Amino acid sequence: MNTIHRRDFLKGTLFLSARILSPSALWAFGSKDQRYQVAVIDLMILKRQKLGAIKLAKEIGADGLEVDMGGLGNRETFDNKFLDKEFRDTYIQELKDQGIKICSVAMTGFYAQSLATRPTYKRMVGDCLETCRLLGAKVAFLPLGVQGDLVKNPELRPALVERLKVIGEMAKKAGVIVGIETALDAKGELDLLREINAKHIKIYFNFSNPLKENRNLIQELKILGKKHICMIHCTDEDGVWLENNKRLDMREVKRTLDKMGWSGWLVIERSRDANLSPKMVKENFGANTRFVKSIFQ
């Protein structure tokens, strides 16, 4: 086959493939080779455990969703609709139809509740790990929150370490990584991980944590390294969109992650424009998703 005929043949093959494949199939074909994928959070786009989160995530331009386990309060476990088979089956079908993936399942109830003292923490975490299995997610997000702040409350460390050891064993059996968010700096988090000594407990890194404490974000990424970061909340505090953020150099972040050899999900949490209503979800998260993709994809 000469050069001209080969080129015409390839053009025809690509055209035929595009005609045959469905939009969702084309999406899957294009995204599976992406080193970095971008997600939004159902809670932050005001669609916690709602079917409409999936279509909205697609309209925003995201590749995936981090879904929340639901409210916790004083309950023995989360108010979690995903354990209802009928709702879950409908949700999973909509994910397939829209070409959206579940990247992680979040236990945001622990932002305000205490992992160190809640008596039914095993049931709570167990329900989350089961939800991960049912939805095909490989990461569970566990913030230690205000009551688990080890900088302000170092006396909680023994109890938290002991419970995280147990959670690590639970996660190992479930085949899920539990990503924790702490108030510690990167060196402190490495020390904590060594103390926990559980391969299925890693750090869910949040750009805003070092930034708001005037720590060096790039240095913190390097200190933690590839193997200790399971996922990234790829945003800062609210105020301006990521593209207008002067203290977060996203291109330098990408260069650093590339050199580290890290790959995975970049989950957009905040960075909403203070001049826009929080209800303007498409505007805020659409702008941030487009910007992150323009850098990382």
User: What's the mean pLDDT in 267-287?
Assistant: 97
Q: What is the pLDDT of residue 131?
A: 98
Cβ atoms of 143 and 164 closer than 8 Å: no
Residue 292 CA to residue 243 CA, distance in Å, equals: 8
Residues in the chain: 297
Q: What is the pLDDT of residue 44?
A: 98
Domain ranges of the chain: 36-296
Nearest to 98 by CA among 188, 31, 165, 5: 31
DSSP-derived 3-state class of residue 6: helix
Nearest to 204 by CA among 157, 267, 131, 161: 267
CATH number of 36-296: 3.20.20.150
Task: Render the burial of 100-117: b for 16+ CB within 10 Å, e for the rest.
Answer: bbbbbbbbbbbeebbbbe
User: What's the mean pLDDT in 66-89?
Assistant: 97
Nearest to 288 by CA among 231, 248, 229, 257: 248
**Residue 55 structure tokens:** 């279509």
- Residue pLDDT, tens place only, 118-144: 999 999 999 999 999 999 999 999 999
User: What's the mean pLDDT in 90-109?
Assistant: 98
**Structure confidence at residue 67 as a pLDDT band (50, 70, 90):** very high
Measuring CA to CA, how many Å separate 230 from each of 96, 178, 255, 264?
Answer: 24, 8, 18, 8
User: What's the mean pLDDT in 156-164?
Assistant: 98
pLDDT > 90: percent of the chain: 89
**Residue 148 structure tokens:** 């688990």
Q: What is the pLDDT of residue 166?
A: 98
Task: Render the burial of 236-246: b for 16+ CB within 10 Å, e for the rest.
Answer: bbbebbbeebe
Cβ atoms of 266 and 39 closer than 8 Å: yes
DSSP 108: G
Q: What is the pLDDT of residue 19?
A: 34
**Structure confidence at residue 295 as a pLDDT band (50, 70, 90):** very high
**Structure confidence at residue 27 as a pLDDT band (50, 70, 90):** very low
Weakest mean pLDDT among 23-37, 181-195, 278-292: 23-37
Residue 226 CA to residue 271 CA, distance in Å, equals: 25
Q: What is the pLDDT of residue 21?
A: 34
Q: What is the pLDDT of residue 33?
A: 72
What interhelical angle do 281-296 and 250-260 show, nearest 10?
Answer: 50
**Residue 75 structure tokens:** 């309950």
Task: Calculate Rg over the CA atoms of the chain.
Answer: 20
Cβ atoms of 283 and 243 closer than 8 Å: no
